[in-house]
Each structure stands twice: as C-alpha cells, then as structure tokens.
Structure 1
Amino acid sequence: MNVSHKIKKGRIVFVLFVFLVLITALIARAGWLQMVEGNELKSAALAQQTRDTLISPRRGNIYDRNKKELAVSIQYYTISACPENMHKLKQDIEGIASMLSQILKTDESEILKKLKKKDSQYQMIKRKVDKEVTEKIKAWIKEKKVQGLNFDEEPKRYYPAGRLAAHVIGFTNFENQGITGIEQAMDKYLKGKPGKILSEVDAGGQGVMPGESKVIDVKDGSNVVLTIDEVIQDIADKALSEAISQYKVVNGGTAIVMDPRTGEILAMVSKPDFDLNNPSGAPEGVNKAKWKGTSENEVNFLWNSIWRNKTLAEPYEPGSTFKTITAAIGIEEGLVTPETTVNDFTFRLTPNSPKIDCHLPNRHGVESFRLSMYRSCNPVYAKLSQDIGIDKFYGYMRAFGFYDKTGLDISEESLGIFQQKPTNLDMAVASFGQRFTINPLQLITAYSAVANGGKLLKPHIVKEITDQDGNIIERTEPELVRNVLSRQTCNTLMDILLGVVTDPNGTGGKAYVKGYGVAGKTGTAETTKNINRLGLPDVAKQFNVAWSAPIDYKDTERYVASFAGMAPADNPVISILVTLDYPNMIQHTGGVVAAPVAGKIIEETLEYLGVERKYTERDKKLIPKEYMVPDVRNMDIEKAAAELKKSKLEFIKEDLGDVNNTKVISQYPRPGTVVRENSFVTLYMYKTDNPVMVKVPNLSKKTVLEAINALNDIGLNIKVNGEGFAVSQSVLPGKEVQKGYEIGVNFETDSNIQD
C-alpha cells in the first residue's frame, strides 16, 4: 500500500512537473512573442480579424486658364462578391449570376465561375459601373435579401472637350493613374491619397460589431490650372485641321500659341489626335474592321504615332524659319544691318564643295539684307554664317536653348540632333535650318525671345495648383533663363520680319492680317524616311497594323512646311508656330500652306483677346467700304435710283420692255444685305417667279480690277479677298446665278514663293 501510494505520488509529482514545465514554456513563449514578434503578429491578427474597405480619393480636376473644365472625375462603382460567405449562407448562386449578367450585360458563365469559388473571399465582378446600374442592383439585392455582394466607389476620368488638347491633358489608365500629358506629369498632385474603413469580421468574414469601424481619412487630389485657353486652343485646332484636310497633309502637324511676355502656352495642338474618352479607339487611316486597340502591336502603334505629342517629341529640321536666328546673330554681332548689300549668287566653301543656291538660283542678284530675308535667299545666310564663325554661331544656338530641353511641365520632350563636331559646311547649311533638328517648342521659345526684347523665358503650361476649395497651393511665375539679344537687335529684326509678311517681295504674305501687324518667317524643309521621321503609314507597317487610307506616299520628297511669327509687331502679345508634316501636293511650301493657317489663328486669337486693330495706309486701301442695301420696293424708279445712290450703289433695271411700269416690284440683293461699294442691285419692274439669271465667268488669273469689271459687266457683284491674281472663286465658272449675286474671289500675289 505504501509502495503503491508512493508510486501514485511519484506519478502525480511527475505530471505536475511536466505540467509546470509546459506552463513555463508557454509563458516564456508568450512573453517572447509579446516582446519580440508582438507588432508583426498583431498586424497579422488585425488583418485576419478586419476587412479593409478602400476609399478612393477624388482625382483633382484639370482646368484651362479661365477655370473651364478639361478633365473631371465621375463616381463609378466596382462590384465584387465574397463567394465564401455566399456558400455559407446558402445563397442562390445561379440566380445571382443570372440577374447580375442581365443588369451588367456581361457573360453569365464568367460570373458563375467566380461565384462558385467557395474558398474565395473576394471576386471582382465588374469595374466602372455607373450609378444608375449600381442602384438597380442594390434595389434587387434588397428585395431578394441577397448577401455577399459589395459596392466600392471609384472615380472614372471624363474629358468634357473630347479631343481638344488631347496631347496636353493626357489620360489615365484603368487604375486612374496618369500615363500621358498633364495627367502623368502632375499625377502626384492630382491623385490624392486613398482612405480606408477597417471593420472587424469573424472567422467567416462577417461583421461582428456594426458601427465599430476605424476610418483613415481620404485626401482628395489637388486641381491643376493650365495656361491653355480653351477658346484659343479651339481656334488653333480648327485652323490646323482644316489645313491638314485642304492640303492633304499625310503626317499631321502642330500649332503652338505662346505669350512671349510670360512664356505661358495659350494653345498647343498636335495632329493626329485622339478622343480622350476613348484613347484606344481606331485612328483615322487604319482598317477599322480589324482594329481592336488592345493588342501589343496596336498599343505600340498608338504610342509611336497617335499618342505622340509632335510639338515636343518629334524634332524636325526648321528650314528657313531658322534664318531669323542667323539674322539675329549677325545683327547682334554688328556684321549686317537691314540695308547691308548682299547677293544670292551661288556659294561654295571650296571649288569642290557642294554648291548652295537660292530656290531660284541667281535670280535676285545684288540686294539688301532686308530683301534677302523677304525673299528667303539661302546663299546670303550661308555666307553670313562664315563671317560669324563656328564657335560663335553654335554658342548662340546653345544660348537660344536648342541644345537643352525647355523644361516644360509635360515630360515627353525630345532633344534634336546636332553634329558633335560641326564643320564650316555643316554651319553653312545650318544657317538656313537644315542638317540639324530641334523640336517645335524650342523654336517658338526662341522666337518669343525676339518678340519680347531678347529674354529667353522658360515656357510653362501649368498656371497654378489649387486645393478642392480653390485655394492656390502653388503658382508658376515667369522664369528668365538668360538674355540672348539686345532690345535694339530685336526691334531691327521685328521690322524685317514685318516686311516678310507685308512687302510684296515677302514669302509670308498669306499670313497678312489687316490691322494686326504680323511679323514672321516661312520655312520649307525636305525630309526623308528615317527612324526619327517615320510617317503614319510607316509606323503602321512597322507594327503590322492594317492601314486602309489610300495615299501616294513617297520615301523622299517629303516636306515640312512652317510659319513662325508674332503679333502685333509693334507690341507682341502672342507668338505662333505652325508646321504641316508632308503636304502631299505640288504647292507644299510654308509660304503657301502654313502662312495662311498662322494668319487665321492670329486674327481670331487677337480678336478674342480684345487687341485693338491699328490700320496702316495699306490696310485702309484694302478695306472695302460696305453699305446696306435699302428697301426700294414700291418706289418709282427715279426715287429708287436716288436712294441707291445715297448708299453708293448702282442698279440694273429689268422691265421686259414695259416702259409704262415705273414702280419697283422686287429687288435683288434683298433689303438689308451688306454689299461692297458700287455693287449692283437688280430692280424688277414686274412680278416674276423667274429672276434674270447669268452665267458666272472664269476669273482665274485676273487682277482685282479685271475681275470686278468682268462681273459688273453682266450685273454680278464681287467680294474681294486678298491681292494679286484670282486663284479661286466661290461659284464655279459656267454656273447660273441671279443677276446681282455676289461672287467671292480669292486673290494671291505672285507665288513663285518657295518658303
């Protein structure tokens, strides 16, 4: 008994000892866990016991300079499911899948496949669902007492203006992250910081204490206000689009409008463009039947063509627009004045060197430096470059910023190509804008320095950043990079460039605007197909994208036509650059195709800005006096004639030979019509439903006076546009119109103009 008792006691002691050892070990382990791994395990436990609901921040808006919305965020929803809970709660999986597919218009089998994943706590059903559809689903689940579906708010980006300023604004990806343009460059300001709702859940993922949630506040994104003016952007966009269509431009073009006083960009257009609300949509020219917009090749095609901002990412040879820079150097260094005698004779560095000729070799002969700019004579600038010298010439090119990125807020800028060790021949050709490349923004920045008196300003496109209440967080101020020219040089150069547009010898006459002195220079640079200058069909072929647009596309004889300038010349408020990449027609020069685009943009922009016109004597001569046609019906012919005479108008009497009827029954043009001085009004002395008709003559190549006489002789009126010789008319020759009808006729000066 004692032995047995001892044995039992020993066993008890042993069990107690083991129990104590285990308890001690557990306590030690717990202490170690608490002291050493406590934070990690606490986080793990919290993650297991809570369900995070992410609160997406509202992405900031993008505005134009007048606070017009260019990019906004609209609330959408992500619909997700917790299949694990649905199965535990014995939900009707098939019925839920069927109803969701009907409302969401998605594949029922795909939804069912996700809902059947019993062990999954999260399956995304659909993203970017609008509020109306979401409310319909919520009403259905409330009615049917469906559990396990979640609705998370998320913003979707919307662009009210569609294609307008597409390359400037840029767009976001599926995660609402900016990937191009301002959306990408200013993403850190626009995106904000997400918030969270941390809710406790049990092992099955169900909430255990409703209302006991921890909220991490969301921080909405800031707004970005651009220097872009939506109205000026639209003016430039429409003018460029019309030119691309009219001149059959293959590779699109660019238009930039800048305020030279501040460096603010008022408009930046790059064509071709795209719809910001559907950036992967089928571009013009591709085979739409084969286009999906999602393949690797298609996306690469978009990145390398349609989405590419040509104003920044496509350096080009500036051609004769660069003569302005060469002239500026020559004037600044005291090597030439406007009246310096020069000549356009063939230039060679050595007897064996390539010859440099004017576009019309030796036609101009001896002339003033001023006229050489008007006529755009290459040899004059090649010779001047040799007087300047390589070090000084390329030193000025660096000073003008051609070797550096401008530092624009958008990060897509590409630098051009220069010879690392330029020779005298390289410099001679560079003097008129060839054998090197720069981007369009660099050139307009340099022109703006000429316009503002010699200050190279850093261009910018972001005006300010504001919070959601409109309070300014950051503001961009004008930034001087360096002084590059004296004001005297700039004034002299501005006077020369004004003549390029206003003088009959100038190549820029098509940019002329009455009342607004436009100063500028034309340019035409021949390019070839190479890796840096691939056209749209080339890029499509490179990425195996089906191209359907029929076009006679050459590997050589591709030209970039351009016009760079500023206005008004006496006090510039805008600088402008227009480029057209490969106009596929005989008349492909900057003076013919780019200058009129620039003139149109300048006129409409200055009118919009309220800049007062200042008419020169030449302007006044070109402004026709116009009068309103008075109502002379039911008047005697003598009285009607007197009334028309008061309004400086002539008349033609139609009476069918009935001299007894002296009352005017009807007239054409109708009362209230505004017509040119000395226009004809046809007076009908009888009631008729068949007015007198006449055939429109062919006015081609007639002078203004000849055209006026040709039309007036048969009782037609004229609306004169331009000077020189008739190149087009509003009504085709041979077509019949009513006597008294006004024919619009466009006139142009002698266009043996190459630049």
Structure 2
Amino acid sequence: MTPSFEEKEISTVLQAFPSLKLDEEKRREIASHIRRERELLQQMKKRKKYAKIIGGAVASFALLFIAYQWMPSEVVPSAQQMNTDESQKAQAAGTTSQTDKVLTLDSQIQEYVEEAVHKTNKAYQPENMTVIVTDPKTGEILGMNLKKQDANDRVPDIVKAKPDPVVAFPIVTLAATIEEGKYTDNKTYESGTYEITPGKFIKDHNVGKGWGQISYLEGIQRSSNVAFAKLSEQIPDDSLQQYFERFGFGAKTGIEQINEQPGKIPNMDTPYDKAMAAYGLGGSASAIQQVAAVGAIANGGEWMKPHVTREERNHIDKGRRVISEETAKKVREILETLVNNKPGFDTAFSMKEYAVAGRTGIVQKRDQQGKIIDGKYTYSFIGFAPSDDPKLLVYIAVDNPNTDLWVRLWGQEIVAPPFQEIMENSLQYLQKR
C-alpha cells in the first residue's frame, strides 16, 4: 500500500528524532489525526485572528507530532481545542479537558527557526546546525530546529554531549570569579602568551601575539584565552569544578527527551588543565546544558530545568539559585559589551532595536577518538535580549560550513544573520501578541 501524504510527513519528522520509534499501526493513527487537523487548520487559517496559531504548516504538524512523542496520546491537543482556547492561541498546542499539560513550543517562533536554518543550509551547506530558543526565566523551549540525523545516531542533537563547550564554560568561569570577589574590570594583565607552568603555554587566538598590557574587561571582550587562564588561577582548585556542577554540567538536565547525555566536566588536576577548562577546551556538554547554564545568567542567577511541557494552572517553575543576582547582573553587563562595544569580539550580533548580550565560540571539530580534525570548525553563539530584562535566549551552532577560508576564520558572518533574524522576529512577535 502506498504511504499517504501524512505518513510521509511522519517519516520525515522521524528522521529528525531517530530515537523515537513507531509501529505501523501507530503511524496510521497519527496520520489520521493529522489529516483531520489539517482540514481544521485550513478552515481556521481563513480567519485572521488565528493567523498566529497556524504559523507554517510544517512547523504546526511537526509540533503536533512531537507532542505525540513527549506526551500521552490522550493529552495531545487538537486544532479544535486551539480554536476554543484563546489564552493559548499563539501555541501550536493548547490545553485539554483531561489535563492541564501544554506544549511550550510556539509555532510562530518555530517557523522563524526553520526559515533561518533553511537560509543558512542553502548558503553554507553545513554538516549540521543546532538552534534552540528559550524563555530563560522559565526554562521553556519555544523553538528548535528539527534536524535530520544519521539513521544510526540514536541521540537527538540538542541533548548530545559534544566536546569543548567554548561558548558556555568561559561565561561560567567569569561568573565564578565575580561571585568569589576576584574580578575587577580595570585590573590589567599581559596578554599574548602565558607560561602557566614550566613548558606549558596558554596562547591568545591571534597566534599568541595578544594586545599588550590590557584590562581584564578588554581581555574578555577580545575573547583572550590568557585572560580566562589567569582568572581561573583566582578560583580555588576545586571551586571551579563545583561551579560547573552548580550550573548543570556533568549531569542530565531532565528535559523530556530520551537518550540525553550528561556530558563531562574536564579534569582540572593541573593549572594547565584548569586554564584550558576555563575557556572551554576539555570535557563535553550538550546544547541544552549550555542553554540552561547561560539562562541562569540571563534570569538573575537561577538554573531552570529546560522543558517542552508545562502545567497550565501551575507553571511557575522553581529554579535553583547558582549565583547571586548581583553577579548575574554584572555578567550580563559584561556580555553586553562584547556585542555592543568595541573592541568587543561579537559586535556582528548587535541589533538596532534590542540590546543583545552574548558570546561566540569557535572550536575545531574532533573525530570519535577525540583527535582534532584539521580544517573543520564549529561556530556557535549564545545570546539573550533585551540584555537588561531578557525575554528570549537563542543558541546557534553551525558545524563545518562550506565557505571561504577568511569567513571560516571568524564565523560571525555565518552565525550572526540567523541569530539576528530569529531573535528580532521572535521579540517583535511576542511584543505584538
């Protein structure tokens, strides 16, 4: 029997989530449900007030399918329920009469994500691209890309622990130094090349040339490895590891997704290893772990469990305080200077209407044995806006894009456009909703 159009849609989404398995009977059941929903959605789409519910057809049906996987079938929302629930009309999933669970994914933000991913894939043909959009105050996931993975890969991309988390680890290092009272903006150090122990050198990314005697604030703005190495020396030997643990690294977040990997906090037995960990080299972490960790900076110091479902009548999520509000505010202010002030390394990510705070990461890819692959890089950025009262946090990572060498050396030209497009469109949408 020839598969129906809806069954083909299900097969496509299954490729994005290979860890999910469905027998033929279940596929037919979902296909029948989607067929009914499609007819309802087409009717609703003709009415202006439901335009925000519908979003893109692909996003709507993808979210509906994900709901089947993450929630019991009896609580999966229907288009009719969206029709009757005004309070959830911007969601791709609404409340039900049997339970108060709703899906946090937003179909309109999901559409912005998929549009940006499509443009980036078309321009650069990367091996992979990961995007996550969250509300950092609640931990709710509002959008993510539905990546097609290798059929043999059993771990969804957002919960896969990958080596060298160079975006989030340095932010945690900075937060730890401030929390311990060891950081001063105007204190200076010698950038370039630093012999941390005899025969062991830390070099800045400009081949160890550095920028002379500069302040720690400027060093952070320039993404100086030496700055983070020296800051790590201000933290007691076991404290940095404890801060990484406090921010959720080395343990599963508990997101509603199977096969989540806990990652690994790197060994910090020597000053050199500790310095490497301080700026993100060593260990491993998943995208969702990094999002949760930086979300704690954005929301004022509380680590929130990332999630895609919530209780409608009682969805006030209780976080775990990891740093003080004062420390979180100071880190936000510093991260804003990276994006909005020279010599900030990340000014390509600034936007006219909203103040952005965040940080880029560029790291060489590794093979399955952990060896560096020459010429292959992953470019990432994590940022939130507005920086003084963050409404959204967006994480983007692009693996090994196909582009000219000079573009690959920096990566902002690749990662900044999708970040700006998703962030700006989503903030404007939330403001009008």
| TM-score bin, normalised by smaller chain | 0.7 to 0.9
Identify if the C-alpha distance between structure 1 residues 343 and 173 changes in structure 2 by more than 3 Å, giving closer, same or farther: farther
Correspondence for 2:36: none
TM-score with structure 1 setting the length: 0.46
Distance in 2 between residues matched to 1:129 and 1:432, nearest whole Å? 50
Report the alpha carbon displacement of residue 609 of structure 1 after superposing the two structures with TM: 0.8
2:422 maps to a residue whose letter is I
Query: Which of the numbers 499, 515, 526 marks the counterpart of 2:364?
Result: 526
1:629-683, CA deviations, whole angstroms, 9 ceiling, x for partnerless residues?
xxxxxxxxxxxxxxxxxxxxxxxxxxxxxxxxxxxxxxxxxxxxxxxxxxxxxxx
TM-score with structure 2 setting the length: 0.77
Where 1:416 maps in the other structure, the secondary structure is coil
Correspondence for 2:81: none
1:237 aligns with 2:114: yes
Report the alpha carbon displacement of residue 373 of structure 1 after superposing the two structures with TM: 1.7
Report the alpha carbon displacement of residue 423 of structure 1 after superposing the two structures with TM: 2.8
Identify if the C-alpha distance between structure 1 residues 579 and 265 changes in structure 2 by more than 3 Å, giving closer, same or farther: same
Identify if the C-alpha distance between structure 1 residues 555 and 391 changes in structure 2 by more than 3 Å, giving closer, same or farther: closer
Correspondence for 2:317: 478
Distance in 1 between residues matched to 2:101 and 2:171, nearest whole Å? 35
Select the structure that is richer in helix.
Answer: 2
Correspondence for 2:90: none
Correspondence for 2:46: none
* Larger Rg computed on CA atoms: 1
Structure with larger RCO (C-alpha < 8 A, sep 6+): 2
Where 1:514 maps in the other structure, the secondary structure is coil
Report the alpha carbon displacement of residue 164 of structure 1 after superposing the two structures with TM: 11
Q: Within 5 A, what are the aligned runs for 1:246-645?
A: 246-249=123-126, 251-272=127-148, 301-304=150-153, 308-419=155-266, 422-464=269-311, 476-480=315-319, 482-530=320-368, 555-585=373-403, 586=405, 587-588=407-408, 589-610=410-431
Correspondence for 2:104: 227
1:571 maps to a residue whose letter is D
CA contact (8 A) 2:266 2:284 kept: no
Report the alpha carbon displacement of residue 419 of structure 1 after superposing the two structures with TM: 3.9
Distance in 2 between residues matched to 1:225 and 1:515, nearest whole Å? 31
2:391 maps to a residue whose letter is V
1:477-530, CA deviations, whole angstroms, 9 ceiling, x for partnerless residues?
4131x2111111111111111111111311212211102001100100112221
Report the alpha carbon displacement of residue 384 of structure 1 after superposing the two structures with TM: 1.0
Q: Within 5 A, what are the aligned runs for 1:141-160?
A: none
Report the alpha carbon displacement of residue 602 of structure 1 after superposing the two structures with TM: 0.8
Identify if the C-alpha distance between structure 1 residues 336 and 462 changes in structure 2 by more than 3 Å, giving closer, same or farther: same
CA contact (8 A) 1:344 1:358 kept: no
Correspondence for 1:730: none
Distance in 1 between residues matched to 2:18 and 2:294, nearest whole Å? 21
Correspondence for 1:176: 26
CA contact (8 A) 1:338 1:496 kept: no
1:1-34, CA deviations, whole angstroms, 9 ceiling, x for partnerless residues?
xxxxxxxxxxxxxxxxxxxxxxxxxxxxxxxxxx
1:357-389, CA deviations, whole angstroms, 9 ceiling, x for partnerless residues?
333523311222221121100011011112213
Report the alpha carbon displacement of residue 319 of structure 1 after superposing the two structures with TM: 1.6
Task: State the superposition RMSD in angstroms.
Answer: 3.4
Correspondence for 1:144: none
Where 2:258 maps in the other structure, the secondary structure is coil
Identify if the C-alpha distance between structure 1 residues 518 and 532 changes in structure 2 by more than 3 Å, giving closer, same or farther: same
Distance in 1 between residues matched to 2:172 and 2:125, nearest whole Å? 30
Where 1:609 maps in the other structure, the secondary structure is helix
1:263 maps to a residue whose letter is G
Distance in 2 between residues matched to 1:414 and 1:364, nearest whole Å? 39
Report the alpha carbon displacement of residue 225 of structure 1 after superposing the two structures with TM: 2.7
Give the count of matched residue pairs: 375
1:84-107, CA deviations, whole angstroms, 9 ceiling, x for partnerless residues?
xxxxxxxxxxxxxxxxxxxx78xx
Correspondence for 2:47: none
CA contact (8 A) 1:257 1:266 kept: yes
Report the alpha carbon displacement of residue 336 of structure 1 after superposing the two structures with TM: 0.8
CA contact (8 A) 1:270 1:311 kept: no
CA contact (8 A) 1:326 1:385 kept: yes
Where 1:328 maps in the other structure, the secondary structure is helix
1:562 maps to a residue whose letter is S
Listed as ranges, the gaps of 5+ residues in structure 2 are 31-64, 77-96
Query: Which of the numbers 71, 75, 79 marks the counterpart of 1:186?
Result: 71
Report the alpha carbon displacement of residue 185 of structure 1 after superposing the two structures with TM: 4.0
Distance in 1 between residues matched to 2:207 and 2:4, nearest whole Å? 64
CA contact (8 A) 1:501 1:511 kept: yes
Report the alpha carbon displacement of residue 337 of structure 1 after superposing the two structures with TM: 2.4
Report the alpha carbon displacement of residue 424 of structure 1 after superposing the two structures with TM: 2.3
Distance in 2 between residues matched to 1:263 and 1:570, nearest whole Å? 18
Identify if the C-alpha distance between structure 1 residues 129 and 484 changes in structure 2 by more than 3 Å, giving closer, same or farther: closer
1:262-289, CA deviations, whole angstroms, 9 ceiling, x for partnerless residues?
111111224336xxxxxxxxxxxxxxxx
Identify if the C-alpha distance between structure 1 residues 313 and 394 changes in structure 2 by more than 3 Å, giving closer, same or farther: same
Distance in 1 between residues matched to 2:4 and 2:217, nearest whole Å? 65
Correspondence for 1:718: none
Distance in 2 between residues matched to 1:266 and 1:351, nearest whole Å? 49
CA contact (8 A) 2:18 2:155 kept: no
1:673-720, CA deviations, whole angstroms, 9 ceiling, x for partnerless residues?
xxxxxxxxxxxxxxxxxxxxxxxxxxxxxxxxxxxxxxxxxxxxxxxx
Distance in 2 between residues matched to 1:345 and 1:424, nearest whole Å? 18
CA contact (8 A) 2:355 2:385 kept: yes
Same amino acid, percent of matched pairs: 29
Identify if the C-alpha distance between structure 1 residues 342 and 320 changes in structure 2 by more than 3 Å, giving closer, same or farther: farther
Distance in 2 between residues matched to 1:239 and 1:502, nearest whole Å? 23
Report the alpha carbon displacement of residue 190 of structure 1 after superposing the two structures with TM: 5.8
Identify if the C-alpha distance between structure 1 residues 171 and 367 changes in structure 2 by more than 3 Å, giving closer, same or farther: same
Identify if the C-alpha distance between structure 1 residues 352 and 228 changes in structure 2 by more than 3 Å, giving closer, same or farther: same
Distance in 2 between residues matched to 1:390 and 1:596, nearest whole Å? 40
Distance in 2 between residues matched to 1:445 and 1:371, nearest whole Å? 26
